[in-house]
């Protein structure tokens, strides 16, 4: 039984990248701030590249400029400044592109503009293909096409996604086809409703998620292989680990590569406090003791499992504390709703499992509580998750505070975390100094503070 329980807990902690991406799209209201410069790598470094500061400098149709302004975009984002001049030139000189930048920096809008610019609206057959890892993500891109392209009356979009049936042998009239690799493959090779020879732009979005999901990358490669030689290939990814790099170079030949490095999180302006406790109950009492203080700002409390998150939320609610809870049990739409309420300040405390530790942008969090320290399967600290959880409180020059509850038998985790981040020079030594006065907040807590 115990084994089963453990398995179940592991299952709960798995992050679904496609869901996280969708959630971010649902809750995002503006561009993600990024302080990093764009790096450009090209085969021939002597060939000139330029970047634009305004949309008017680009060869965009007036209908598209109108669409952009209706979206409320005043100027191109960092990635758009560089990517658009590469993607937009005339079809006789198509340049392949691989672009990496974190989620929310404006990649979708960039390739949507490229597709809408490339199609010949007078011709009624598919000219641009776009692949996304899931049904929902494909629909999201479609919505952006429809919004930015709302003044391009003659351009239409078709969705190659499950449930959308087409008759074998018919030819699609839509100029842009967007879908998931499996259905697209079926439409192109089995039903033959898309003539791949006539495609002149191929966009592959969220390449890192494709690779993470079995089969999608192979299906994408099969489609790409059947495209004509002059077809422009554009590949986008939020991350660029080795597997993504290998996949990208298989799909895209002679690319210009642009990268917007992810903002580096640091712990130097975050105060970290560790509470040593013997049980969940003791952790809970410690939490109640600091509750008044954590609700001065907005706090996120991270639990290792859904079970502990549920337990904590019930306990806190029964004690009259108002908390919201975010776990993988909720649908993406429900999660988006919870996050929105938290953002609007309707709830001050959000209890979350690992599913939302990463990638979700809730900027106003000032206090993070680790109800359990994040650990990996070998029961060592998961440094990266620790950094991501608490690093987000101290962004853009803000000061943050993090409280971590540690079981007595796990005090060594605290030492390991301390050593790890000090070795990286990522942490202000003073913050970890035991001789610092103990925080008022912890007085009366029935647990010790191992580090102040």
Ligand X SMILES: Nc1ncnc2c1ncn2[C@@H]1O[C@H](COP(=O)(O)OP(=O)(O)OP(=O)(O)O)[C@@H](O)[C@H]1O
Q: Give the footprint of ligand X on this chain (CB under 6 A).
A: 21, 24-25, 28, 30-31, 71, 73, 76-77, 80, 103-109, 238
**Cβ proximity to ligand X, 80 vs 308, nearer residue:** 80
**Cβ proximity to ligand X, 25 vs 348, nearer residue:** 25
Query: Least distance to ligand X from the beta carbon of 294, Å?
Result: 29
Token pair in block for residue 114: 């490229």
**Cβ proximity to ligand X, 255 vs 381, nearer residue:** 255
Q: Phi and psi for 159 in degrees, rounded to 5?
A: -105, 115
C-alpha distances in angstroms, 445 versus 8, 309, 313, 448? 32, 21, 20, 8
Query: Could you give the CA distance from residue 317 to residue 75 in angstroms, rounded to a whole number?
Result: 45
Query: Could you give the CA distance from residue 122 to residue 167 in angstroms, rounded to a whole number?
Result: 23
**Cβ proximity to ligand X, 104 vs 400, nearer residue:** 104
CA 180 from centroid of its chain's CA atoms: 19
C-alpha distances in angstroms, 401 versus 287, 316, 369? 14, 21, 9
Query: Least distance to ligand X from the beta carbon of 237, Å?
Result: 8
Query: Least distance to ligand X from the beta carbon of 41, Å?
Result: 19
Query: Could you give the CA distance from residue 449 to residue 137 in angstroms, rounded to a whole number?
Result: 45
Q: Is 353 in a helix, a strand, or coil?
A: coil
Query: Least distance to ligand X from the beta carbon of 21, Å?
Result: 5
Query: Least distance to ligand X from the beta carbon of 353, Å?
Result: 21
Burial 84-108 (b: 16+ CB within 10 A, else e): bbbbbeeeeebbbbbbbbbbbbbbb
**Cβ proximity to ligand X, 105 vs 183, nearer residue:** 105
**Residues in CB range of 145: below 8 A, 6 or more apart:** 112, 115, 116, 157, 176, 178
Query: Least distance to ligand X from the beta carbon of 148, Å?
Result: 9
The dihedral formed by the CA atoms of 432, 433, 437 and 443, expressed in degrees to the nearest 10 = 50
**Cβ proximity to ligand X, 133 vs 400, nearer residue:** 133
Query: Least distance to ligand X from the beta carbon of 232, Å?
Result: 18
Cβ–Cβ under 8 Å, residues 437 and 452? yes
Query: Least distance to ligand X from the beta carbon of 108, Å?
Result: 3
E-strand ranges in 42-160 read 97-101, 128-131, 157-160
Radius of gyration over every alpha carbon of the chain, rounded to an integer in angstroms: 25
| Partners of 218 in the β-ladder | none
**Cβ proximity to ligand X, 106 vs 181, nearer residue:** 106
Query: Least distance to ligand X from the beta carbon of 61, Å?
Result: 17
Strands 365-370 vs 400-407: parallel, antiparallel or unpaired: parallel
CB atoms within 10 A of CB 247: 21
Query: Could you give the CA distance from residue 219 to residue 211 in angstroms, rounded to a whole number?
Result: 11
**Cβ proximity to ligand X, 271 vs 395, nearer residue:** 395
Nearest residue relative to ligand X (C-beta): 108
**Cβ proximity to ligand X, 75 vs 412, nearer residue:** 75
**Cβ proximity to ligand X, 109 vs 365, nearer residue:** 109
Query: Least distance to ligand X from the beta carbon of 31, Å?
Result: 4
Query: Least distance to ligand X from the beta carbon of 40, Å?
Result: 17
**Cβ proximity to ligand X, 262 vs 315, nearer residue:** 262
**Residues in CB range of 54: below 8 A, 6 or more apart:** 75, 76
Query: Least distance to ligand X from the beta carbon of 23, Å?
Result: 10
Query: Could you give the CA distance from residue 117 to residue 183 in angstroms, rounded to a whole number?
Result: 25
CA 57 from centroid of its chain's CA atoms: 30
Query: Could you give the CA distance from residue 434 to residue 278 in angstroms, rounded to a whole number?
Result: 20
**Cβ proximity to ligand X, 237 vs 272, nearer residue:** 237
């Amino acid at each position: 039984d115990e084994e089963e329980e453990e398995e179940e807990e592991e299952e709960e902690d798995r992050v679904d990248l496609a869901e996280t991406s969708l959630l971010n799209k649902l809750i995002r209201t503006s561009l993600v701030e990024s302080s990093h410069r764009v790096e450009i790598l090209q085969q021939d470094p002597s060939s000139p590249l330029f970047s634009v500061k305004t949309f008017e400098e680009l060869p965009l149709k007036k209908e598209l400029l109108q669409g952009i302004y209706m979206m409320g975009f005043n100027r191109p984002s960092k990635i758009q400044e560089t990517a658009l001049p590469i993607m937009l030139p005339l079809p006789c000189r198509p340049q392949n592109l691989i672009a990496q930048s974190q989620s929310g920096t404006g990649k979708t809008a960039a390739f949507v503009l490229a597709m809408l610019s490339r199609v010949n609206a007078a011709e009624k057959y598919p000219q641009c293909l776009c692949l996304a890892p899931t049904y929902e993500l494909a629909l999201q891109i479609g919505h952006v096409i429809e919004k930015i392209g709302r003044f391009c009356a003659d351009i239409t979009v078709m969705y190659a996604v499950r449930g959308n049936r087409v008759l074998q042998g018919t030819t699609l009239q839509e100029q842009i086809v967007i879908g998931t690799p499996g259905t697209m493959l079926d439409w192109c090779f089995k039903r033959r409703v898309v003539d791949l020879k006539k495609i002149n732009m191929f966009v592959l979005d969220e390449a890192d998620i494709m690779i993470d999901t079995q089969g999608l990358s192979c299906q994408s490669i099969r489609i790409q292989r059947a495209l004509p030689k002059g077809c422009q290939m554009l590949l986008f990814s939020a991350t660029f680990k080795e597997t993504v790099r290998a996949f990208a170079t298989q799909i895209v030949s002679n690319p210009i590569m642009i990268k917007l490095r992810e903002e580096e999180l640091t712990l130097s302006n975050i105060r970290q406090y560790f509470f040593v406790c013997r049980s969940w109950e003791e952790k809970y009492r410690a939490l109640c003791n600091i509750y008044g203080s954590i609700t001065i700002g907005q706090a996120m409390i991270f639990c290792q499992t859904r079970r502990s998150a549920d337990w904590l939320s019930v306990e806190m609610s029964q004690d009259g504390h108002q908390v919201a809870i975010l776990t993988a049990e909720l649908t993406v739409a429900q999660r988006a709703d919870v996050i929105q309420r938290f953002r609007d300040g309707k709830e001050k405390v959000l209890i979350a499992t690992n599913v939302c530790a990463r990638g979700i942008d809730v900027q106003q969090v000032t206090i993070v509580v680790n109800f359990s320290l994040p650990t990996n399967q070998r029961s060592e600290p998961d440094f990266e998750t620790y950094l991501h959880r608490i690093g987000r409180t101290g962004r853009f020059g803000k000061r943050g505070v993090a409280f971590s509850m540690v079981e007595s038998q796990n005090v060594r985790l605290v030492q390991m975390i301390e050593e790890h981040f000090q070795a990286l020079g990522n942490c202000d030594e003073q913050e970890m100094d035991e001789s610092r006065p103990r925080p008022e907040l912890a007085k009366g807590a029935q647990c010790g503070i191992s580090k102040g």
